[in-house]
Amino acid sequence: MSLEAHSYAEKVLAWYRLTPNTLGNLRPADRRLALDLFDRQVPLEIIAAALLAATGRRAGRPADAPPLARIASLHYFLPIVDELIEANSPSYLDHLLRRVTPYAPQLAAAIKQHLS
């Protein structure tokens, strides 16, 4: 594994662990997925947007809705990653950062630090 792949995977996994409503545990399958995303050349900005989008969707649920189970795997975000790749909207990440920062301040701060 290259240093670049390792760095990418560590960034993705760190962001995943900062994402609200995740169990925070890393499984070998999560690490493999992070490396697969690197191999697919998925930009970190897409990963960031997927984590933020999921956070926003979950936070935006009605208050009287039944609670959702906690997210147990990075794989939960894969359909959103694919959706964002297909949408190809560069400004969407900025929108998500503004919208989701109140719900996930640590995640938003880590992503903003990466972008600067």
| Residue-wise pLDDT tens digits, 18-76 | 999 999 889 999 999 999 999 999 999 899 989 998 998 888 889 899 999 999 999 99
Query: What integer is the mean pLDDT of 3-11?
Result: 96
Query: What integer is the mean pLDDT of 8-16?
Result: 97
Higher-pLDDT residue of 110, 6: 6
Contact call for residues 57 and 84 (beta carbons, < 8 A): no
Contact call for residues 94 and 8 (beta carbons, < 8 A): no
The CB density around residue 73, as the number of other CB atoms within 10 Å, is 16
Q: How do the residues of the chain divide into helix, strand and coil, expressed in percent and rounded to 5?
A: 65, 0, 30
pLDDT, position 90: 66
Every domain of the chain and the residues it spans:
3-61+70-115
pLDDT, position 24: 81
Query: What integer is the mean pLDDT of 81-93?
Result: 80
Q: Could you give the CA distance from residue 99 to residue 116 in angstroms, rounded to a whole number?
A: 19
- Answering whether pTM is above 0.85, one says no
Q: Report whether pLDDT(87) > 90.
A: no
